[in-house]
Amino acid sequence: MSSFHELIAFERETQALGQIAGRLGWDQETMMPRGAAPQRGEEMAAIEAVLHARRSDPRVADWLETAKAPDDIGAAQLREIRRAYERAVKVPGELASKIARVTSEAQGKWAQARADEDVAAFLPVLEEVVALKRKEGQALAAGGNLYDAMVADYEQGTTSSEIAEIFNAMRPGLVDLRARVLEQPTPAGLAGTFDENAQMKLARKIAKTFGYDMSHGRVDKAVHPFSSGSGLDVRITTRTNPLDPFNCIYSTIHEVGHGAYEQNIDRVHLLTSLGRGVSMGVHESQSRIYENQIGRSRAFTGWLFKEMREAFGDIGVSSEDAFYAAVNRVQNGYIRTEADELQYNLHIMLRFDLERALMLGDLEVQDLEAAWNDRFLADFGYAVDKPSNGCLQDVHWSVGLFGYFPTYSLGNVYAGCLHEALRRDVTDLDVQLAEGDTSVATGWLRENLQQFGGLREPRDTITHAAGSAPTHQPLMTYLETKFSEIYNL
């Protein structure tokens, strides 16, 4: 067997073990007994130790030295394996294992602190997570910018300064449009109580409508919606609120975007380094275009309005136009995952600046709540009322996902480029969406982007699909056009 084939066989086993680790995380969020958290932390640490040992195995370096790629796919596999190996050998195995153990425990403590509205109960373990992630960042950066090294885990080829440049270009337009919209009357929202079992039934129907394959996936409930797995086992979660069915519906569509990306990757890449989404920014482009440009479009909401009426009866709005305005209404709120398209990126910009400061030592954990509250007041014009609406609302920092948040807005930028290209190529898109048929839209995404997995680098992936290099301008044009029409600006 050649060096290349020995390496790929070894990599397949490593990828399979990684899927097992992911399933442990899924179980922890959905079905694990609360009292099992300490043991689960040990289990996660043990499997992370095995994974780290494999990823940093000296044989990988030997194979990489002599392996000859048989084709472009093989060359891309070697590129990704080399990147993972070079990262793994920089981080001591003991540190990787400790991060896995502490973040597993921190996740449970975050959930309890969030439920209790008790920031003080969470800060000690968060302080430990931050200290460990700083050590990891220093190891990865090797004297460079440690936050850039963390961003590279989620969006390779992009630096924090490049992200800041994009955000700085977007912020003035977002703030201006938000101010003009909020001067107008707020459209009526839904009214009534919405049975949570009925919400889950509708959520599963909508998941199938967007092409999610239930024979290789499932929809469950979690505190914080997420997607898990790849290939033949891709699972998503959502959440319900009896007073706000949109929370469930659009969380589901969002996670279906993630899940469908993983399900639609060409099976030739199964359990290889190319058999998953290429980056979190590209992943978010799929979840956001499913959720927003498709799911919140005038055409699709016309179909959804009928489905809502059938599922719940009187929902408080009586026309498709009123329903469309309700789906897209802009109003004050605290929760990132519930934010409208217009304000969502402002939530991300806040988190990006705070976590970068945390990692670079410009902000200490004990000062995080005050810094969050001050920034939120400055950006949104009103004060945070409770911790679950403030610095305790997101799970990401508890599990050590520093560098992850900016990819949400990069995903929005990418989605803007993809939507522009989709509209160019599919001229009758709205006719299909009005019938609840998303197959051409999702098929376009599958054929132009999803099937390739990690074959290309992130920006090249978007450029290939959209036909031009990514820029924030299509997103800003889309937002200005859409909300100007809804609010008669």
Q: How far apart are CA 239 and CA 393, in angstroms?
A: 14
pLDDT in tens, 95-131: 988 998 999 899 989 999 999 999 999 999 999 999 9
Q: Give the torsion through C-alpha atoms of 10, 16, 21, 27, to 10 deg.
A: -170
* Residue 258 among known ligand-binding residues: yes
Both tokens of residue 78? 């070697």
Q: Which of 105, 255, 341, 355 is catalytic?
A: 255
Average pLDDT over residues 191-213: 97
- Output the pLDDT for position 97: 86
CB-based contact 479:176 (threshold 8 Å): no
Average pLDDT over residues 41-60: 92
- Specify burial of residue 381 (Cβ count, 10 A radius: 0-12, 13-18, 19+): exposed
**Phi, psi for 245 (deg, rounded to 5):** -70, -20
Q: Which of 420, 406, 405 is nearest to 476 (CA)?
A: 420
- Specify burial of residue 280 (Cβ count, 10 A radius: 0-12, 13-18, 19+): buried
Does position 223 have pLDDT exceeding 90, yes or no? no
Q: How far apart are CA 293 and CA 419, in angstroms?
A: 7
Average pLDDT over residues 432-443: 97
Q: Which of 112, 135, 140, 123 is nearest to 37 (CA)?
A: 112
pLDDT in tens, 247-282: 999 999 999 999 999 999 999 999 999 999 999 999
- Which neighbouring-strand residues pair with 234? 229
Q: Which of 346, 321, 322 is nearest to 332 (CA)?
A: 346
Q: How far apart are CA 36 and CA 32, in angstroms?
A: 7
Q: How far apart are CA 92 and CA 152, in angstroms?
A: 18
**CATH, domain range 118-488:** 1.10.1370.30
Average pLDDT over residues 54-75: 96
Does position 389 have pLDDT exceeding 90, yes or no? yes
In which band, very low, low, confident or very high, does the pLDDT at 224 lie, cut at 50, 70 and 90? Answer: confident
Rg (CA), the chain: 22
pLDDT in tens, 82-98: 999 999 899 898 998 89
321-328: Cβ within 8 A, 24+ apart = 322/187, 322/188, 324/298, 324/486, 325/187, 325/188, 325/486, 326/187, 326/188, 326/189, 326/190, 327/246, 327/296, 327/301, 328/296, 328/482, 328/483, 328/486
Catalytic, 80? Answer no
- Output the pLDDT for position 34: 86
CB-based contact 229:19 (threshold 8 Å): yes
In which band, very low, low, confident or very high, does the pLDDT at 392 lie, cut at 50, 70 and 90? Answer: very high
CB-based contact 22:229 (threshold 8 Å): yes
* pLDDT, mean over the chain: 95
Q: How far apart are CA 421 and CA 328, in angstroms?
A: 23
Q: How far apart are CA 366 and CA 387, in angstroms?
A: 14
Q: Which residue has the tokens 């959209």?
A: 466
**Phi, psi for 235 (deg, rounded to 5):** -115, 145
Q: How far apart are CA 20 and CA 229, in angstroms?
A: 9
pLDDT in tens, 276-315: 999 999 999 999 999 999 999 999 999 999 999 999 999 9
Angle between helices 458-466 and 406-425 (to 10 degrees): 20
- Output the pLDDT for position 93: 84
* Residue 284 among known ligand-binding residues: yes
- Quickly count: other Cβ atoms within 10 Å of residue 33's Cβ: 8
What is the domain partition of the chain in residue ranges?
Answer: 3-90, 118-488
Q: Which of 416, 257, 248, 434 is nearest to 344 (CA)?
A: 416
Does position 146 have pLDDT exceeding 90, yes or no? yes
Q: Give the torsion through C-alpha atoms of 166, 172, 173, 174, to 10 deg.
A: 90
Q: Which residue has the tokens 């099992």?
A: 36
Q: Which of 208, 279, 288 is nearest to 452 (CA)?
A: 279
Angle between helices 72-88 and 58-66 (to 10 degrees): 150
Model-wide pTM > 0.85: yes
How many CA atoms are closer than 13 Å to the CA of 41, on its beta-carbon side?
16
Average pLDDT over residues 26-43: 90
| Strand-strand pairing, 233-238 and 227-230 | antiparallel
Average pLDDT over residues 352-377: 96
Q: Hey, what amino acid is at 244?
A: D
Rounded percentage of the chain residues whose pLDDT exceeds 70: 100
Does position 238 have pLDDT exceeding 90, yes or no? yes
pLDDT in tens, 171-201: 999 999 999 999 999 999 999 999 999 999 9
